[in-house]
Every structure is written in structure tokens, then in C-alpha cells.
Amino acid sequence: MHAWKAVVGTLAFTGLDVTVTTLLYKHSRSGGSFLQDLKHFNIFDSMLDIWGACLYRSCVLLGAAIGVARNTIYGPKRLKGSRIFITLVCLAVGIYALVKLLLYSEVRKTIKDPWFWGLFAWTYVSLAATFSLWQLLSSVRPARETLGVNSESRTEAEEIGDPSLPDAQEKKEEASAATICKLLSYTKPDVHFLVVAFFFLLVAALGETFLPYYTGRAIDGIVIQKSMEQFSTAVVIMALLAIGSSFAAGIRGGVFTLVFARLNIRLRNSLFRSLVSQEMSFFDENLTGDIISRLTSDTTIVSDLVSQNINIFLRNMVKATGVIVFMFSLSWQLSLVTFMGFPIIMLMSDLYGKYYKKLSKEVQNALAKANNTAEETISAMKTVRSFANEEVEANVYSDKLQQVYKLNKKEAMAYTYYVWSSGLTLLIVQVSILYYGGHLVITDQMTSGNLISFIIYEFVLGDCMESIGSVYSGLMQGVGAAEKVFEFIDRKPTMVHDGTLAPNQLEGKVEFRNVTFAYRTRPATQVLQNVSFTLHPGKVTALVGPSGSGKSSCVSIMENFYPLEDGQVLLDGQPINIYLW
């Protein structure tokens, strides 16, 4: 988008935001002037702080618009680097608005003020628009004449990266989504199995969702109602739910395991078929260890991680949906307290997943190099033993493994920080729920049994969100390996053997006519240059020359392994590439 359109749109919305928020704030005041509200500010009743948050986000957005207007080259680039800042700003204001709603409900048990609800809803609409406009400003394209003022400015723009180009991170995210979709497309033949698995997944998740609710009913029957009948009924229902959900979970897990075992076989078959159809130059450019690593370890990682994580993801998503419905039915106030911490955890999971994906690719590359070293050493063991070089090769392999270990340590540290930060956030949320829930029980706004059910639901939801977060990082690791596998599967050979000539009898006359040839791995070195000779049938012809003169290359060319730069190789007067190979 052009800079002036984005800037004008941002300025227009900023003015609209301030105007609408001010009008809603003015009508939501119980009475008195702005100065009186400021002087006698009460966090439980006044909306002055929400209006102040509007001014702050408007100033931030206004500054971003001015920065882009003054510098269309560097401005969008800097905004892209500040996405975490605007995310935190919107997150902080959104959480504070929820806190404000809870505080307001303490003063007014029934909130019927339409101006308050209008201001509350507009705050979230404005936050969504603020984040979207920030994204829009960061994608502004500089005018061509701006980039072409002089060569110095052009060079400088290229060094920082042209903002008109799509963001590299966005490209990576799109590639990850495309890889997952392509991977799931390999499960299309097993749709009937997936339908069965998903049905039992729903049954198991719903059964587990009802368990905390009947736990609270059982406690209410003992503590409050003093009714053995109510207690026994709740316990029997819990037992039936547990048996049914366990049975459904077993079938779900077995079917998913079968589906993704079939996926692994399809991936290996597709990859191997693609490999054997490649031209010989492909095997010169790619080491055998790398290819074997893709065929063995990478396909296993893809099928295992994806099957495990998709199973966990679907189960926890369905379970979390049911839990959220029950939580709001028990107490909307405690539900809001719960959801204040989850956006922070989701943000941390997103950052951790992106970093883990990058490390996963590096680990796979390092392992491939280590496997290649081992393959080369073992395949040439006679040569290694002849030179008494076992210790040197062992040290080389050990060094490769140390590189893998360093990357594994980075993965471990990243996981440690992620678990620590997300666990601390969950602990704060749980303590807040317990404290505020006790307040609601004391003020007769909910029963003790419902509070216990809610706390159990909160723990279940926390486990679901934690599992979903770990699933994301696991999926990113699987995507990193899948991208390498699909890179080989989707590769089209540069030399296609599509000849159809298949004579019943051959004379065997081979003729080289002005053949010029160079290996693709060494394009600057011509192995053969204008070489011409004839091999007559029934005669023994020897190719004599020093090492590296092209004797073996002539044999490879006769077998149609490599394309020629110039000239022809004829078999019985016909080019060899038209024969059926």
C-alpha cells in the first residue's frame, strides 16, 4: 500500500477513536465535570483510566503514522521490528479493561449502563484496529523515486531491506502453513479412519469435560445438601463418564496411530520414488549421508511428531472448548480472571515456537552432516585402515556430534525459559482465582461446590493450553523436517529420460560427435571439449589417458547419465537420448 493512504487512514481512525471514546466516557460519568472526576478518581467507578488508555494508544499510533510519513524507507522497517511492542501495549490495555469490568461489577452487581458497555466494547474494537493499522503501516511500500534519488540512498535501502518486499517472517509462516496442509493432504486416502478417530475424540473429550462438574455436585451433596442420594448419583455418573471416555480415548489413539503409520509409508515411498528418478548430477551435488538422513530420520520425525501433536492438539482443543462453556456457566467473573493470563502464555508460546523451529532445522542439518561423515568413513573403511586414520575420523565424527550437542543445549535452555515463564503466569492466575473465588463464595455469589468445580476446570484448561503450546513447538519441529523431505519429493529432475525408441536388435555402433561436457558441480572445468571418435561393433577399443582426462566420463555419457553442453552421442546413428532407458 502507498504511504499516504496508510497514513491518512491511520490519522482518520485516531481522530475517530478519541472522539468516540470521549463521548462514551462523558455519558458514562455519573455526574460532575472532568476536573471533579480527575480530583475524586475512584478506580471502581470512574472510566477516566479507560479514556486515558485511549489517549495513550492514539499517541502511539499517531507517532507511527508520522514516522512513516517522514521516512517511507526506514519507518516501515522500524515498525516491523516493533511488533512485539504494539502487541504488549494492546495486550496490557485489553487485560486492564477486563480488570476494570470486574471492579465495576463489585460496585454495581447488575451492570445495565449502555454507555459503560459501549465504552468497554469500543475499547476492544479500537485495540484490534490499532494492531491492524500498525501492521498496515509496517507494510508500506516506498515510492520508486524515493529509492532512486541517488545510488547511495539505493544502496542504503538495500542494506536495511526494502519494506516493499514481503516480510521474511511472514513468508516463513506461510511456508509452514503450506507444508502442514501438504502433509495432511497425504492422509486423504484415510479419511474414513480420520472420521472414526475424530468421533471417538469428541466422545472422550466431552466425557472428561463433565467430570469436574459432577465433582462439584458431589461435594455440594456432602457439604451443603447433606444428601447421600445426591452424592451417590453424582459419583455413579462420574464412574460411567470415566469408563466411557477411557474406552473412547483408547480407540481414538489406536486409529490415529494407524493413520499416521500409513502416512509414514506414503512419505517414504514418495521420497524414494522421487530420489530414484533424479538425474545423476543430483547425487553428485547431494551427499549420500544427507539423502539417507532425509529418507530415514526426517520421515520418521515428520510422521511421529505430526501424528502425536495433531492427536494432542485436536483432543485439547475440543476439551478446552467444553471447559470454557462450563466455566462461564459457573462464574463469568472468575472466567475473565482466568483469561487474563492466557494471552500472555499464547504470546510466549508463539515466540518459543518460532525460535524452536529455527533450532530444529539447524539440528537436522548438523545430524545430516554427522551421518554423512559416518557413512563416508564406514564405506571407505579399507582406505581409513590403510592410512591408520581411525582416530582422526573418530575425532571428526565427535566434533560433528558436539555441534549437534551445542544446538541441543540451546533447545534445552529455550524450553527451560518457556516452561518457567508460562508456569509462573499460570501460578499467578490460579492464586488470583482462589482469592477472588473465595470472595465470591463469602458474598454468596457462588457456592463452594461450584468454586471447587471451577478450580478443577481451571487446572484442566491450564493443562489444555500448555499441551497446545507444546504442540505448536512440536509441530514446528516436524514442519522443519517436513520441508526438507518435500524439497526432495517436489524436485523435478533436470534430465528427463523420455525416450521411446526400443529396436528389437542393435548393431552397437557408438559415435561421439564434437562432444563438450562439464559436470554441474564443476561448471568451469570442461572435462571433454570437441571430442569425436567412433566405437565399431565387434572391435575392442581402448580409451587411454591420464587420470582426470575424461575416460570414465565418456562411459557415463554413453549410459546417458549426464546432459551434454554441446555435440551428440549416437547409437546406431540415433541420439542416445531418444532410446527407451
CA distances from 260 to 47, 184, 248, 499 (A): 54, 10, 19, 38
Q: How many CB atoms lie within 10 A of CB 231?
A: 18
Contact of 124 with 53, CB cutoff 8 Å: no
Helix 299-330 to helix 332-379 angle (10° resolution) is: 170
- Cα separation, 132 vs 126, in Å, equals 10
pLDDT at 421: 82
pLDDT at 196: 92
Please name which of 338, 484, 358, 355 lies closest in space to residue 418, comparing C-alpha atoms. Answer: 355
Q: How many CB atoms lie within 10 A of CB 533?
A: 12
All structural domains of the chain: 3-160 (no CATH), 169-489 (1.20.1560.10), 510-578 (3.40.50.300)
- Give the per-residue SS3 of 331-382: CHHHHHHHHHHHHHHHHHHHHHHHHHHHHHHHHHHHHHHHHHHHHHHHHCHH
- Cα separation, 233 vs 253, in Å, equals 30
3-state secondary structure of 406: helix
Three cell numbers at 358? 529455527
CA distances from 454 to 69, 131, 205, 335, 428 (A): 51, 33, 17, 9, 16
Please name which of 78, 79, 119 lies closest in space to residue 97, comparing C-alpha atoms. Answer: 119
- End-to-end Cα spacing for the chain: 53
pLDDT at 161: 42
Q: What are the two backbone dihedrals, phi and then psi, of residue 568, each rounded to the nearest 5 degrees?
A: -145, 150
- Cα separation, 175 vs 76, in Å, equals 23
Per-residue pLDDT, averaged over 438-456, amounts to 85
R_g of the chain computed on alpha carbons? 34
Higher pLDDT, 284 or 204: 204
Query: What DSSP designation does 493 have?
Result: P
Per-residue pLDDT, averaged over 381-396, amounts to 86
Q: What is the DSSP string of 56-74?
A: HHHHHHHHHHHHHHH-TTH
- Cα separation, 397 vs 505, in Å, equals 52
- Cα separation, 489 vs 514, in Å, equals 36
pTM (two decimals) = 0.60
Average model confidence (pLDDT) for the chain? 81
pLDDT at 170: 58
Per-residue pLDDT, averaged over 74-85, amounts to 81
Residue with cell 471533579: 36
- Cα separation, 62 vs 83, in Å, equals 15
pLDDT tens, 248-259? 989 988 898 888
Task: Assign residue 507 a region (left: φ > 0; alpha: ψ between -120 and 50; beta: otherwise).
Answer: alpha
Per-residue pLDDT, averaged over 175-204, amounts to 85
Specify the range with the lowest mean pLDDT, choosing from 55-64, 392-401, 548-557: 548-557
Q: How many CB atoms lie within 10 A of CB 377?
A: 18
Q: What is the DSSP string of 184-212?
A: HHTTGGGHHHHHHHHHHHHHHHHHHHHHH
pLDDT at 146: 47
- Cα separation, 467 vs 474, in Å, equals 10
Q: What share of the chain is helix, strand, coil (3-state, %, to 5)?
A: 75, 5, 20
pLDDT at 87: 85
50: pLDDT strictly greater than 60: yes
| 569 beta partners | 512
Contact of 393 with 298, CB cutoff 8 Å: no
Per-residue pLDDT, averaged over 542-553, amounts to 82
How does 492-529 read in b/e, with b if 16+ C-beta sit within 10 Å? eeebeeeeeeeeeeeeeebbbeebebbbeeeeeeebbe
- Cα separation, 573 vs 534, in Å, equals 11
158: pLDDT strictly greater than 50: no
The confidence band for 29, taking pLDDT boundaries of 50, 70 and 90, is low
Please name which of 207, 206, 230 lies closest in space to residue 218, comparing C-alpha atoms. Answer: 230
Per-residue pLDDT, averaged over 364-380, amounts to 87
Higher pLDDT, 356 or 329: 329
CA 10 to centroid of chain Cα atoms: 30
- As a dihedral over the C-alpha atoms of residue 77, residue 469, residue 175, residue 144, rounded to 10 degrees, the angle is -10
pLDDT tens, 280-324? 888 888 888 888 888 888 888 887 777 777 888 888 888 888 899
- Alpha helices (runs of H) in 108-189, residue ranges in sequence order: 114-138, 144-147, 151-160, 168-185
How does 82-105 read in b/e, with b if 16+ C-beta sit within 10 Å? beeebeebbbebbbebbebbbebb
- Give the per-residue SS3 of 505-546: CCCCCEEEEEEEECCCCCCCCCCEEEEEEEECCCCCCCCCCC
- Cα separation, 125 vs 7, in Å, equals 19
Instruction: Name the pairing type of β-strands 566-571 and 574-575.
Output: antiparallel
3-state secondary structure of 567: strand
Task: Assign residue 172 a region (left: φ > 0; alpha: ψ between -120 and 50; beta: otherwise).
Answer: alpha
Q: How many CB atoms lie within 10 A of CB 23?
A: 14
pLDDT at 48: 84
